[in-house]
Structure 1
Amino acid sequence: MTRADNLALAVPVRYVRISAAPEVLVMGPGDKIEISNINTPGRTERVDRAKYEAMRESLLAVLPEEAPGQLVAEAKSALLPGLPEALFPGGKTAGWWLKAVQLDLEAKGIIARAKAKPVRLRRVAE
């Protein structure tokens, strides 16, 4: 048994290194993903991958490409029925996840907001 094996047995970890490269990981049941925020460039947060990906898929499915886009409240109403009940029971925490995904996708240039208020979102054409 190697030293790494001993450490894996002695200390509970969520991630197991599978190569010499630290960025190659096998993800466990608590999978996390790093997200950005357009309002704080360079800063990232680690969040639940399953909830992030479910919200991302739902949000991108309801947003139009055409300007001026869709109001955030309209987008939320449209995506709520499509969210997995197991991840968002009764839509609980959907508002927080919508905002987190919105800010991350804005930072990555996948969606954009209209210049005028109230906030309207649209997908950026590929």
Structure 2
Amino acid sequence: MSAPKTDSQQQILALLKQLNREISAQELYVELRRRSQSLGLATIYRALKALKLEGTIQTRTLSNGESFYSLAEAEQHYLTCLNCGKSILLENCPICQESAASREQEHFKIYYHILDFFGLCPSCQHQIHVES
């Protein structure tokens, strides 16, 4: 059973549910201020850390170090271009069956997993090929 949520955690969860997409901590800060729910950025980061540790939200970190947060309800996997930063959502997870077997064997409670592939999108491949 998880600990009771703080007001800041509840505000962040409500916003994530309403937006139903990934969002950075900076974007959360701006959006909460826009909605007259002013929280400090440090408070937002503390709330995000607590929510992540209990498995309520998940984090995806891009190659530039920026983190995006979303509800941990559904697994999402991406192809991310290292040149332009574009992320393409993969429809199917290639390791879901493996993780289920590992979870049972090790008696490990998995909240979520992240699978990202990094490379070059077709547009950037073409651009780099033309420039070389």
Higher relative contact order, chain-length normalized (CA < 8 Å, sep 6+) = 1
TM-score by length of 2: 0.43
TM-score by length of 1: 0.45
